[in-house]
Structure 1
């Protein structure tokens, strides 16, 4: 109990200290900016910036930036930077690590306040770390699926634009104008890189690294080869677009055939949760023994790990790659 209270007080003190120092630095910067903008005739913009800098969201964002720049959080964050970029989440890895730590501490304090059980609080606080990681992975996968679904339409637009006399970059600009996100945002970033002087080859390779799509990598490889050896790029894009559409059709057919296995995985994963809620409602004293007893906590931990392993195995079985 004492350890949790001390850790909570230390975390709160560090948070308030960083917040206070940053507020003082921001206030000093606002005074200087205000004086400069008065001379340049931009007083209204300066006042607007001062108000925005005192907004709670701005302060929290700056706290994340400060805490995320610490060496240990920055090192840990490098491992998740790529996934955050692929999920289009505007956070650095270090900032995301800070959010995870804050969630774990807040969950631990909340559970301890409700149950007064240090071990239970620590276990559930550790489990809460999985939630942000799951959200990032789900967002990343959904964005990748949406992007892959747009590639065939993008190739059709690009091939028609090339036949109409547009350049390759102009055909990408047509895709950016015609299609929604996520392909709109990624193509817009690539076009911006080219306009700022980045070679088209490097810009396309950067696009492939950001999205991490096999279909897009196939397209970019074909484009780069065509730029070296020549040929009818519009016809190449049409052929690749047809192949991608066929792959999408086969994937949807496989998804239909494996629907039973995926539903079984969902039921197996949710059934223990519903049973726990039912027991907690019908006979709370019976199930609370699992949370108040050391052996019960060990059993719960092993059960949760077993559930995750089972879900991963089922996912691997129904996830057919070709």
Structure 2
């Protein structure tokens, strides 16, 4: 017995409801993947409390000056979008800075808008998808693709920083044991170690030369990087400046801890690599098969985004796929 779906759900067309299901699946995947664990959030809150209590306080005039220098794009429409549509622009600015990007927030938003319009135009004017589906694809491309690219650059820069930071601490320890002060040891390490460690340490040295206190410069860099290894280093220096003690021995112990921490992360990565490979293969099979069927017989698979029943099934499939991918990701992700 054939049962036709109603074309209206109240006053809302059923096509709109069915096309929103993939967006719901993408939202669920985003929340599952990028939602941090409870222990990690608690650690970040503790570090943020210590950082805020030690970081230098800026006047409103300085904050406005920095926002004008780093946040505006020069295009009124884009600047209004930044003010009204982005909930926490300061966090996005810090994320761009942590990824090593020199672009402003305005340029980031403008690039996202152009990418969304390009995706919409490509799908609409080539008659690949209907209007609503093209608009949804453009919206997802504008929001998710720039976020994914910045996230990739951020992870790559952090991994490189974590890999080279113990060597920088060892250089500081040798400088302290030879009689150099900590500021000169940091300057030497910044000149010897490759980027991004050397670049960040040189920024700390430049801030000290311009009159900032060493502890304030370290906390500012810690806020921008948001890397636990550098937070440990900053906290160790802050505690030593208050309580005294052998700073060289403290930093040597910290370097050994950071190396052991990285070795443990690599071991966990090796043990979970099989599960990750299985997840990648299983997750890519539906899309590969859909592409092959589309190349062989486009009219056969076109019913999935033309017929409301096909869109309903695609929405359920993408939602289930997003939930499953998020659960598998959380299963192989460990906080250290």
TM-score tier by shorter-chain length is 0.7 to 0.9
1:68/1:246 Cα in 2 relative to 1: closer, same or farther (>3 Å)?
farther
Q: How does 1:106-255 map to 2 (within 5 A)?
A: 106-115=118-127, 117-129=130-142, 130-255=144-269
Q: Cα deviations across residues 236-271 of structure 1 (Å, max 9, x unaligned)?
A: 110011111111111111111111111122113322
TM-score scaled by length of structure 2 = 0.72
Report the Cα offset of residue 304 of structure 1. Answer: 3.1
Cα distance in 2, alignment partners of residues 64 and 306 from structure 1 = 39
**More moved, 157-166 vs 295-304:** 295-304
8 Å CA contact retained: 2:72, 2:104? no
User: Given the superposition, is the C-alpha separation of residues 63 and 214 from structure 1 closer, same or farther in structure 2, using an over 3 Å criterion?
Assistant: closer
The structure-2 alpha-carbon separation of the partners of 1:98 and 1:169, relative to structure 1 and needing over 3 Å to count, comes to same
Number of corresponding residues:
261
Which structure has the bigger radius of gyration?
A: 1
Aligned equivalent of 2:81: 72
C-alpha displacement of 1:175: 1.5
Secondary structure of the 1:70 match is helix
Q: Is the 8 A contact 1:177 1:184 kept in 2?
A: yes
Which of 297, 301, 307 in structure 1 is aligned with 2:321? 307
Relative to structure 1, the CA distance from residue 110 to residue 63 in structure 2 (aligned partners, 3 Å threshold; closer, same or farther) is farther
Larger relative contact order (CA 8 Å, sep ≥ 6): 2
TM-score, length basis structure 1: 0.75
What's the offset of the Cα at 1:298? 4.2
Q: CA RMSD in A?
A: 2.1
Aligned to 2:35: none
Task: Say whether 1:266 aligns with 2:280.
Answer: yes
**Structure 2 gap ranges (5+):** 1-70
Deviation at 1:292, TM superposition (A): 2.5
Q: 5+ residue gaps in structure 1?
A: 1-61
1:170-194 deviation line (CA, Å, top 9, x unaligned): 1111121111111111112111111
SS in 1 for 2:302: helix
Q: Compared with structure 1, are the counterparts of its residues 192 and 175 closer, same or farther at alpha carbon in structure 2 (3 Å cutoff)?
A: same
